[in-house]
Structure 1
Amino acid sequence: MPRHAPLTAAILLALPLFAQADERADRHQHEDARVLDAVEVTASPLRNAIDDLTRPVDVLRGEELDARKAGNLGETLERQTGVQSSFFGAGVGRPIIRGQDGARVQVLSSGTGSLDVSTVSVDHAVTIEPFLAEQIEVLKGPATLLYGSGAIGGAVNVVDGRVPTRRVGRDVAGRAEVRHGSAADENTAMFRLDADAGPWTFHADGFRREASDVRIPGFAYSPELVAEEIEEGVSPDELAQGRLPNSSLSTLGGAVGATWFGERSWLGASVSTYRTDYGIPPGAHAHEEEGEDHGGGEEEEEEVVRLDMLQDRLDVRGGIRGIGPLQELNYRVTRSQYEHTEFEGEEVGTVFENRGTEARLEAVQNEINGWRGAFGLQYGDRDFSAIGDEAFVPPSVSRDLGVFVVQERDFGDVKLELGARHDRVSIDPAGDLPTVDQNATSLAVGALWRFSENMHLSANLDRAQRAPSAEELFSDGPHIATQSYEIGDAGLDTETALSGELGLHVHAGRFEGKVSVYQSRFDDFIYLADTGLELDELPVRAWVQGDATFTGWEAEGQVDLVENATGLWTLRVFADAVDAELDAGGKLPRIAPSRVGTDLSWTRGNWRARVGAIRVADQDDVAALESATDGYTLFDAGLTYHWDVGGAGWEAFVEGRNLGDEEARAHTSYLKDVAPLAGRNIAVGVRVDF
């Protein structure tokens, strides 16, 4: 536990006592503090309220989501307990949940996979735009029951409403926002329109973002690398500082959709596109070519690498209510065509393509002897290929078919949840490589005990399995993003995790808090291990298996401190820590250090404001051959003014992040030694809802 943990624990224990001591707290403030309890979690087929779930779920929406939105999903969610960002430059940030990322964390767009290739390599972006989200749901711990073996570490569901699932309730509703950020001279604009017309509801949205190279507090290279360069005769003036080279980006996209609503059924569809062009910071993607130095000799000169990515997507959704023993039957089908080209200077380096299809059928049953539940089928098909210098994974066709069931029942003050899922995963690579067929079976039991009016205790036990991905099975070549020559193993077995979690949720008067402890024990955990060998001047790393254990805790508390003539003052305190190590000895790489943070928010009339800070500890308990990172503290603040004009609500805002302009290097990132996080960023903008 970090040195801040005792203080955090003391605060969290004291706050409910403080809240209970003030019996004069009025009822409407209690309801304000628990607004998330009424939020429907759409990632669950039963669409329970967040306070009725035994599973740990966070929902980011409304004013809080507006304050946290960023250019990628990882950065948007990184102030949620247990969630960090992979960070691979300004254009890439995939969520990491409780120390697990990549092929273990499923990223969803309104319940179906993103169908990109962000799990193939850490420099590949997720094709989901956070600024268009209605709400973002984070499922912590194994989510394999609902979304298959790719969610053994959790799932993130971005609800965008592109296929309307309910009527607007008026002729036209919409939202628009424009903002400018100082750190990268970034300009972002988005709009959304929804309209009812007879039995139809229509949707349209669009966004665009343009950003220059990101400002950073000092050198792009870490102090250790700067010292090495100077020792080799490089002048400090020749090293990148002040801005992170080749970190500019341009992103745009949009969608149109429509849904027909009948008396007992509905059917909708949307078509969408996502296009982005972003750079990879030098040193992160080091293809090299020969050039001439000033003395007429020859030296190695690094290529500038940019990714030009596009995805076109079709989503179809529908449902029927009241079919015999079924309360409702819902279905989703998604078809995606994805391609991105990696340019090395003016030349095409590698082209990645992915043709993906995902179909899902969910049946929600009528209550049977007190049991409520759902069951369903899910099918996925991925036709992947990579051609070029970084084609370290052969073309392959992956198919998986899963069947699942979830059930719940109340026994007095105790709610019991049961679930099971079985997947059949097949990966057929091109050439003479063997087809790999594997099974993955997951079982779960959870309980929610409401032992008092103000508290409930949750307990979850999962046995989850994950089939290895094509990258882990068949890699054989230089993977420049990870600066290694990767070798897969077609003989890898299914990995199995036995996970347990205990959680306590308190909501008393003006206070709400939760704390949880968890552990996951993996048999045959798949990871990338250093071999000590070199090939093509790159270290050779092999995909191998070994038993591993992830252990961690999370705590969060929020209290309305006071409401008087000065306004409503609310304090939030949060902290988390995770440890991951191999049972045979040694740490796993890129595990996030412990964190503790606080936010103080204020509301009075038309004004809202907040100030906050997060302290990230040193991470010196590292894997073999992995460098340590120093801790850092980031300060942020925001001020918003709201006014109404007719039926429209307008807001002008200013937001500041990393106000101390501190050099911060994310330990979870492959770029920690060559690319720090952005320096001070002041964003100003206007948004309107109507």
Structure 2
Amino acid sequence: MKTFIKLLFFIAIYSVNAQNSISGKITDSNNNPLFGVEVYASEIHKGTTSKIDGTYVINNIPNGKINVTFTYLGFKTATKLVIVSNNSIDLNITLKETPFELDEIIISTPFNKLQSENVMKVEKFSAKEMQKMGSTTLSEGITNIAGVSQISTGTSIGKPVIRGLSGNRVVVYTQGTRLENQQFGGEHGLGINGEGIGSVEVIKGPASLLYGSDALGGVLYLNPEKFASANEHSFLFNQKYFSNTLGSSSSIAGKVSSESWKFLARGTYAFHSDYKIPTNQRVTNTRFKEKDLKAGIGYSKNNFTSELRYNFNNSKLGLPEDGIQAQSTSLNLLEPFQVIDNHVLSSHNHFFFGESKLDIDLGYTFNDRQEFEENENEAALRMKLKTYTYNVKYHFPKIGDIEILSGVQGLHQTNTNFGEELLIPDAKINDIGVFTTANYVWNNSTLQAGVRFDNRNINTKKHEVTDDDDNLRIFDAVDKSYNSFTASLGFKTILLENLTTRINLATGFRAPNLAELTSNGVHEGTNRFEKGNNNLKNEKNAQIDLSLEYKTEHFELFANGFYNHLNDYIFITPTGEVEDENPVYNYVQEDSKLYGGEFGFHLHPHPLDWLHLESTFEMVTGKQKNGNYLPLVPANTWKNTLRTEFNVSQWLQQAYAFASLQSTFAQNNVSNFETKTPSYNLLNLGFGGDIILGKTKLSTSLSVNNLLDKKYINHLSRLKADGIFNQGRNIVLGVNFAI
């Protein structure tokens, strides 16, 4: 910790006296100035918006190579690489109109390029898009991304699933640092509130080259909201109402920035009662409350930038155990329930050395998870997880058209038990990984390749625990070390005019987690006795992705296919035995495969500029080598959306309306302890826009999910075994305004 503080002190005093700037004028193709264009330099976390005459300026730019992005609704995003060397840059930009979505800088990939320039296909979903969908939680919101779903426990707990892989196979990054919060458990959600999240990026496929162990299935990268532009300040308020759970979410934030310093703070409070199903009943103890605080400080001057962010989240979650009991809209939790405190502190620092750059990212996560059972004032189960992470990357000077990046990253983690019950033992985990990757661009093609080596050491303490029936359960000590080499190779090219293809080959790995190695008992909410296996080996996979994208001015067509071969895939399966009145499950390994993809089109017919027709189909199949199907694989889904965009005089701007039909097919390809799930169709509606009242802008949204109050059960619902339906009709009203 002392080293961490010293490094922050070094960052704070490191300085030279260059006063560079980038300025210019932004116009459309008819040379008309554009007002309100977002100008942003992602490497230094600085931005501004163009004035009414189209001019802009960003001061205190460090020496080196800086990517500047210009984003404006209805226009094609432009990015320019400028080289700053003790001088000021004049950069005038002409933006071209486009009917399709904005092209944005992708942060989760190594070279931070526009999506259209990336070798790897990455999905990006903004906070504004999530608000339009009327999602109750962040986990639910990201399921609107093709290829992404969630394992849910009611409306409060959701775990991301990317192309059939979940749990520790999906790495979550928030504030640029790895989130560790006992994510191995099915009843352990994200622990991140969606307010204060600017956008979500999803890497679908092995990303171990960039993120190490556990990124075998993909990465969910949460970008925090941006600071205010230089010399500006704002006060923001957000309110949402949810009819189904009689829920509310209130959030307030303040931002202020000078040329060098930036500050922001946001507080959020949300509560929901038991959710209602289409039979007009409420599912007992699915109620939850959440408090969330986010704060940030940024400093940018001369040849370095630094950003320090903190997030505290307190969640109180009911655990549904007895299905539908006495009906109530109370917010008071019933046993069993969880109380979870999650602290995330991150520091992101960029040093510019002319042609090269050094990134140093440090993180600390503290997760305190308590579980209360019947008639107990103290937590029966309590685990404290502390995780220190580091990620150091050096961008070498560009050699012609070749960019090279090398780095080292890792973590130190401790898990300590304080309750009478044990789910996993006290443990220490140490990770270290070294990697290098290169990007080469020529003509209309890009080639990207990289290699990496990782080591993970897991050391646990032996425990002997006596349960309520005086049965002795032993957690044997484990001392294991896991090594792995991973590699990736990607190629992007423009085959024909308007036709782009991407081919990616990547390997990934995942070391067994503590639950898989050491479990020995019943965990509330699972309804099974789980036994670990300390002989488990690394999971390793190799995946090939093929992406085709055809785009013209009024039509877009895409096809993403993948084949994922997994060696020694770890999964839980019933043994046929019974212990402590619960069926016994243990962890086994089997070579497996997953394959499928996402396909769709977007039609924007001329001259009906206000009309959009979007359609996506996503599918995935998971099989073991012996022919049995893998568990927890989502059903195939077809989504069709008819959307309009319009303005009404000067008082309603950027307005929209949509109708969406989600058709989920029957899931008949189930594992030996799952049951089949029938098909269903859900109709959703939405309407909203920016209401202009003088100098105040109110962003409003009204959505109705499951309009017809359809009875259905999602295949990945953990309440499916009890025959409990998913949520019925839910009307969500949201209002945002800034002062």
Q: In 1, Cα distance between the equivalents of 2:129 and 2:420?
A: 43
Offset, 1:341: 1.2
Within a 5 Å distance, the mapping from 1:541-620 to structure 2 comes to 541-564=585-608, 568-605=610-647, 606=652, 607-620=655-668
Q: In 2, Cα distance between the equivalents of 1:602 and 1:90?
A: 29
Secondary structure of 1:155's counterpart equals strand
Partner of 1:245: 284
1:272 counterpart = 2:311: yes
Partner of 2:102: 36
Match of 1:535 among 541, 561, 579: 579
1:157 counterpart = 2:188: no
Within a 5 Å distance, the mapping from 1:334-483 to structure 2 comes to 334-347=363-376, 348-388=379-419, 391-431=422-462, 433-483=477-527
Q: In 2, Cα distance between the equivalents of 1:442 and 1:389?
A: 41
Partner of 1:486: 530
Within a 5 Å distance, the mapping from 1:101-180 to structure 2 comes to 101-117=166-182, 119-161=183-225, 168-180=229-241
Offset, 1:27: 8.3
C-alpha spacing 1:570/1:210, structure 2 compared with 1 (3 Å): same
1:74 counterpart = 2:139: yes
C-alpha spacing 1:461/1:410, structure 2 compared with 1 (3 Å): same
C-alpha spacing 1:688/1:144, structure 2 compared with 1 (3 Å): same
Partner of 1:202: 263
C-alpha spacing 1:369/1:30, structure 2 compared with 1 (3 Å): closer
Checking the alignment, whether the CA contact within 8 Å between 2:133 and 2:703 is kept in structure 1 is no
CA RMSD of aligned residues (A): 2.3
Q: In 1, Cα distance between the equivalents of 2:375 and 2:492?
A: 58
1:672 counterpart = 2:720: yes
Q: In 2, Cα distance between the equivalents of 1:355 and 1:214?
A: 33
Partner of 2:700: 652
The Cα offsets for residues 69-92 of structure 1, whole Å up to 9 and x where unpaired, read as 633332111121111011112211
Q: In 2, Cα distance between the equivalents of 1:27 and 1:152?
A: 36
Q: Which amino acid aligns with 1:385?
A: T
Partner of 1:61: 126
Q: Which amino acid aligns with 2:615?
A: V
Offset, 1:454: 0.6
Q: In 2, Cα distance between the equivalents of 1:377 and 1:36?
A: 33
C-alpha spacing 1:81/1:646, structure 2 compared with 1 (3 Å): same
Q: In 2, Cα distance between the equivalents of 1:263 and 1:563?
A: 49
Checking the alignment, whether the CA contact within 8 Å between 1:71 and 1:130 is kept in structure 2 is no
Mark the runs of 5 or more structure 1 residues left unpaired by the alignment: 1-25, 219-240, 287-302
C-alpha spacing 1:110/1:33, structure 2 compared with 1 (3 Å): farther
Partner of 1:636: 684
Moved more, 592-601 or 412-421: 412-421
Checking the alignment, whether the CA contact within 8 Å between 1:305 and 1:344 is kept in structure 2 is yes
Q: In 2, Cα distance between the equivalents of 1:66 and 1:329?
A: 36
Secondary structure of 1:75's counterpart equals helix
Secondary structure of 1:77's counterpart equals helix
Q: In 1, Cα distance between the equivalents of 2:216 and 2:102?
A: 25
C-alpha spacing 1:245/1:562, structure 2 compared with 1 (3 Å): farther
Offset, 1:359: 1.2
Q: In 2, Cα distance between the equivalents of 1:152 and 1:285?
A: 37
Q: In 2, Cα distance between the equivalents of 1:83 and 1:169?
A: 36
Checking the alignment, whether the CA contact within 8 Å between 1:371 and 1:409 is kept in structure 2 is yes
Mark the runs of 5 or more structure 2 residues left unpaired by the alignment: 1-73, 77-94, 326-333, 463-475
Checking the alignment, whether the CA contact within 8 Å between 1:665 and 1:673 is kept in structure 2 is no
Offset, 1:388: 4.1
The Cα offsets for residues 569-625 of structure 1, whole Å up to 9 and x where unpaired, read as 111100111000101121111211101011111112133211101011111221113
Q: In 1, Cα distance between the equivalents of 2:632 and 2:96?
A: 40
Secondary structure of 2:168's counterpart equals helix
Q: In 1, Cα distance between the equivalents of 2:552 and 2:577?
A: 58
Q: In 1, Cα distance between the equivalents of 2:309 and 2:679?
A: 45
Q: Which amino acid aligns with 2:361?
A: R
The Cα offsets for residues 423-471 of structure 1, whole Å up to 9 and x where unpaired, read as 1101110125131111122101010011123111111111222211111
Q: Which amino acid aligns with 2:597?
A: W
Secondary structure of 1:609's counterpart equals strand
Partner of 1:521: 565
1:332 counterpart = 2:397: no
Within a 5 Å distance, the mapping from 1:88-107 to structure 2 comes to 88-107=153-172
The Cα offsets for residues 298-334 of structure 1, whole Å up to 9 and x where unpaired, read as xxxxx831111112232212111125x62x1111111
Offset, 1:562: 4.7
Offset, 1:532: 1.7
Q: In 2, Cα distance between the equivalents of 1:27 and 1:132?
A: 26
Checking the alignment, whether the CA contact within 8 Å between 2:696 and 2:738 is kept in structure 1 is yes
Q: Which amino acid aligns with 1:587?
A: Y
Secondary structure of 2:525's counterpart equals helix
Offset, 1:529: 1.9
Checking the alignment, whether the CA contact within 8 Å between 1:390 and 1:478 is kept in structure 2 is no
Offset, 1:358: 1.0
Checking the alignment, whether the CA contact within 8 Å between 1:73 and 1:94 is kept in structure 2 is no
Q: Which amino acid aligns with 2:442?
A: F
Q: In 1, Cα distance between the equivalents of 2:288 and 2:127?
A: 27
Q: In 1, Cα distance between the equivalents of 2:157 and 2:682?
A: 20
- TM-score scaled to structure 2, two decimals? 0.80
Offset, 1:646: 5.1
Q: In 2, Cα distance between the equivalents of 1:572 and 1:396?
A: 48
Offset, 1:181: 0.8
Q: In 1, Cα distance between the equivalents of 2:283 and 2:404?
A: 51
Checking the alignment, whether the CA contact within 8 Å between 2:134 and 2:732 is kept in structure 1 is no
Secondary structure of 2:277's counterpart equals strand
Q: In 1, Cα distance between the equivalents of 2:401 and 2:521?
A: 56
Match of 1:86 among 151, 168, 171: 151
Offset, 1:285: 13
Offset, 1:563: 4.5
Partner of 2:278: 217
Offset, 1:643: 2.3
Offset, 1:262: 1.1
The Cα offsets for residues 287-308 of structure 1, whole Å up to 9 and x where unpaired, read as xxxxxxxxxxxxxxxx831111
C-alpha spacing 1:69/1:146, structure 2 compared with 1 (3 Å): farther
C-alpha spacing 1:503/1:389, structure 2 compared with 1 (3 Å): farther
Moved more, 461-470 or 569-578: 461-470
1:622 counterpart = 2:686: no
Secondary structure of 1:60's counterpart equals strand
Q: Which amino acid aligns with 2:499?
A: M
Q: Which amino acid aligns with 1:410?
A: V
Checking the alignment, whether the CA contact within 8 Å between 1:448 and 1:457 is kept in structure 2 is yes
Q: In 2, Cα distance between the equivalents of 1:512 and 1:110?
A: 32
Q: In 2, Cα distance between the equivalents of 1:84 and 1:496?
A: 23
Match of 2:736 among 671, 687, 690: 687
Q: Which amino acid aligns with 2:702?
A: V
Secondary structure of 2:144's counterpart equals coil
Partner of 1:495: 539
